[in-house]
Structure 1
Amino acid sequence: MTDFQSLGLSDGLLSAISENGYDTPTPIQKQSIPLILQGRDLMGLAQTGTGKTAAFGLPLIDRLLEEGRRPAAKGTRALILAPTRELVNQIAKSLVSFLKDTPLRVTSVVGGVSINGQVKRLSRGTDILVATPGRLLDLVDRDAVKLATASYLVLDEADQMLDLGFIHALRRIAGLVARERQTLLFSATMPKQIDELAKSYLKNPARVEVAPAGKTADKIAQSVHFMDQKAKTDFLIRQLQDKPDGVSLVFCRTKHGAERLMRKLSQNGLSAGSIHGNKSQGQRERAIRGLREGEINVLVATDVAARGIDIPGVSHVYNFELPEVAEAYVHRIGRTARAGAEGEAVALCAPEEIALFRQIEKLIGIEIAVASGDVPPMAAAASRQKRGNGARGGNKPARAQSSSGSNDNSAQAKKPRRRRPNGRKKAA
């Protein structure tokens, strides 16, 4: 099979694919599309940027067109769940591009924007609903959408949905959609929980794996610079100033850290924006549009942006702070070298981050080239981190998956238990 025509898609959809400039399917598309057209449940494992949206979107559209039904009021025929607002919007935009001259409707719902407009759009029903779990359940609780008519369920980037604490939301949603359904699960990594999720929700699924978990794109040139944390900002500014024509993404661990860094870059004459959980949906969309249209050339982000941003021409990804979950590194640098292009991933590693760096190398299975600085010994780095934590009162960095600040998973977070100043619980 060398082109889309050989995959079994309908003539009308093949015409839309051609108009969108696609001629050769990616490996995940080649393997997944025929199986989905057969009605099989499927578990797809592929790294970010490999064309997973079309892998499930094209056969899903084909099957919905073949059925020829109309959606019921407040109902949906197919439900696609994704972990972040950006990914939901990207999926919806991609699907719409294939629906020219068809009666199918795509509706997307995310947090961070008014729910009233979403309630109104859903009132007449939709063929394909793309949603974040948190906002979807808000709409379910308002009786604005009925999921029992959904005979297709897609879980995209399932591993990140689990990282963000959506497991209970997924269980509830799975119980609301039609029992007789086709379920598709796509994930970039395969932790134990994903395997358990697949066994719970998929029936005799076909398994498609086109890249080992943790594998990075071949055309990404990776390097690391070792330095003290305090030296990182000036170093990054010099790097960005030396590449005035580059389009760069810079990743931080926390929302406040990302905002501070963006302001520092702007003060030094760089055209920069930021995207994180403290930004409204409109602000996030304007920042992404600004980078895409060349109004800015540096976007500082938390891991909320590691999946779901598809911006052609991103030349560099800078890990200003290393993620505390190694898999997040793969998703971060996957924002460059997309669709066969080349790109660079540059990590800035402080001594207290050396353990995180070694975890990343272990995951991706390669030694990242050292561009500058001396590699700190693990023991010294651990001692330094321990002393630093003690000086800060024992505070530890926030976990990478929660520092993204995505408002859509706020209902999933557990509040810390209050303790009295002496450390004893308050008496009942």
Structure 2
Amino acid sequence: MSFRNLNLINPIVRAVTEAGYSKPTEIQYAAVPPILAGRDFIGYAQTGTGKTAAFAMPILQLLKRNTPDHKEIRTLILTPTRELVQQLEESFKVYSKYLPLSQLSIFGGVLSGSQLAALRKRVDILIATPERLLNLVSQRPIDLSKIEILVLDEADRMLDMGFAEDVKKILKLISQKRQTLFFSATMPSEVRKFADAMMNNPVEVTVDQIPSPLQCVNQSVYFVEKTKKTDLLINILQDVSILRSLVFTRTKQGADRLVKQLERTGIFAAAIHGNKSQIARQQAVEDFKNSKIRVLVATDIAARGIDMEELPYVVNYELPDVPETYVNRIERTGRAGTKGTAVSFCDEGERSDLSNIQKLIGFIMPVGKLHYIH
């Protein structure tokens, strides 16, 4: 089945195809039709199953059907962490590439003045952490009454982090005449009760858990100071037997910075992320496949367009804060029966991320022997 079979419009099909998607995943196949039909929807799906596209694609199409001259926020997506907001922002930019729709992301750690100023402009899609959104609402009236679609992403994590009361306060600011989409990896009783209180006869879908990492991937972790990660990576890459390495960073800026640091030492590398043009990303991937460069530094969203069987080495330069994302990363090596290696760098601030990853995969990674760092 192709994306066209889901009755998605050409601009969306074109964008997701260019991003490296070939066919809908199980959650996309199940979610897109009822969401397009205006139904409330509950999806039990982990990161890595394609759930972001499962709600992003139909939301974009619904908004495109009716694009009035407005300044009100039309879609609100709530998610618990800054990193998840940024991941959703990058995904929506990819999927809406050929659509005249605006989006804005707000989270803590950024001056509120700039975010309040941005909210004065047209915003079709607002992606926010609950706490930050309420903080801005307390500073200046923000009209949430015209919201047509509400999405709660990573709902179980949101409640685990204590955001239940914040979400309830936000719900009071939103029209009851809305479409509500609820995505959660698990559904304990308190999450179920929370969903029932805000949904109207929803369609429910559960997708299988993503598989554990392949047995033929050799995994290890290096405990290293944050400031020493680049030195460690350079030291590892001096092993000429490592023909290709896919290196993951959390941010686009971090990817660009790392490429410059590698090239200063004579290691040919390129970065791919959402700020790069499609042509530039394709060229970087081709140079990587043809061994013109040894290292490709990527963010998680941009890496979805990489499909190659012979990728021997994956480096988690920065650990993802979503455990399932780790699985997505390392499954890019060890394909087609070949052996693969996945190494992770873990600084003091990432210890909890490592713990969550190891709980998910049911495996305690052996600690790699630190290479000598000057």
State how far apart, in whole Å, the 1-side matches of 2:153 and 2:160 are: 13
Q: Tell me what 2:257 maps to.
A: 290
Cα 1:319–1:211 change in 2 (3 A) is farther
Q: Distance in 1 between matches of 2:93 and 2:19?
A: 11
For the structure 1 residues 317 and 96, does the alpha-carbon distance in structure 2 shift closer, same or farther, using more than 3 Å as the test? closer
Q: TM-score, normalised by structure 2?
A: 0.66
State the partner residue of 2:266. none
Write the distance in 1 (CA, Å) between the matches of 2:10 and 2:212: 35
Q: Shift of residue 371 of structure 1?
A: 8.9
Given the superposition, is the C-alpha separation of residues 144 and 315 from structure 1 closer, same or farther in structure 2, using an over 3 Å criterion?
Answer: farther
Q: Would the aligned equivalents of 2:77 and 2:152 in 1 still touch at CA under 8 Å?
A: yes
| CA 288–180 in structure 1, closer or farther in 2 if over 3 Å, else same | farther
* TM-superposition CA deviations, 1:24-78 (whole Å, max 9, x none): 122221221112112121122222233222111110011111123333x4x2010
Does residue 1:88 correspond to 2:85, yes or no? yes
Compared with structure 1, are the counterparts of its residues 189 and 318 closer, same or farther at alpha carbon in structure 2 (3 Å cutoff)?
farther
Q: How far apart are residue 115 of structure 1 and its match?
A: 1.5
Aligned partner (choices 329, 337, 348) of residue 336 of structure 1: 329
> Aligned equivalents of 1:221 and 1:232: distance in 2?
20
Contact 1:3 1:23 in 2 (8 A): yes
Q: CA deviation at 1:84?
A: 2.1
Q: Deviations over 1:276-323 (max 9, x none)?
A: xxxxxxxx76335535x56469xxxxxxxxxx9546388144999xx9
Query: Partners in 2 of 1:6 and 1:99 — Cα distance?
Result: 19
C-alpha distance in 2, partners of 1:340/1:224? 14
Return the alpha-carbon distance in structure 2 between the equivalents of residues 184 and 340 of structure 1: 34
Taking a change above 3 Å as real, the CA distance of residues 173 and 5 of structure 1, as seen in their structure-2 partners, is same
Larger Rg: 1
Equivalent position of 2:207 in the other structure: 210
Deviation at 1:193, TM superposition (A): 3.2
Residue in 1 aligned with 2:9?
A: 10
Q: 1 CA distance for matches of 2:45 and 2:237?
A: 31
Q: Report the counterpart of residue 22 of structure 2 in structure 1.
A: 23
Q: Is the 8 A contact 1:77 1:152 kept in 2?
A: yes
1:143 paired to 2:121: no
Quick one: which of 186, 190, 193 aligns to 1:189?
186
Tell me if the contact between 2:315 and 2:344 (Cα under 8 Å) persists in the aligned partners: no
User: Which stretches in structure 1 are left out of the alignment for 5+ residues?
Assistant: 226-230, 250-272, 276-283, 298-307, 349-356, 374-428
Contact 1:13 1:98 survives alignment (8 Å): yes
- Give the Å deviation of 1:87: 2.2
Matches within 5 A, 1:15-94: 15-71=14-70, 73=71, 75-94=72-91
In structure 2, distance between residues paired with 1:363 and 1:16: 32
Deviations 1:124-144 (CA, angstroms, capped at 9, x unpaired): 331111111122112211234
2-structure distance, mates of 1:347, 1:162: 29
Q: C-alpha offsets along residues 345-395 of structure 1, whole Å, 9 cap, x if unaligned?
A: 5689xxxxxxxx99988865x66687999xxxxxxxxxxxxxxxxxxxxxx
- Tell me which amino acid in the other structure corresponds to 1:49: G
Counting aligned pairs with the same residue, the percent is 34
Q: Give the total of aligned pairs.
A: 306
Please state how far the C-alpha of 1:103 moved relative to its aligned partner: 3.0
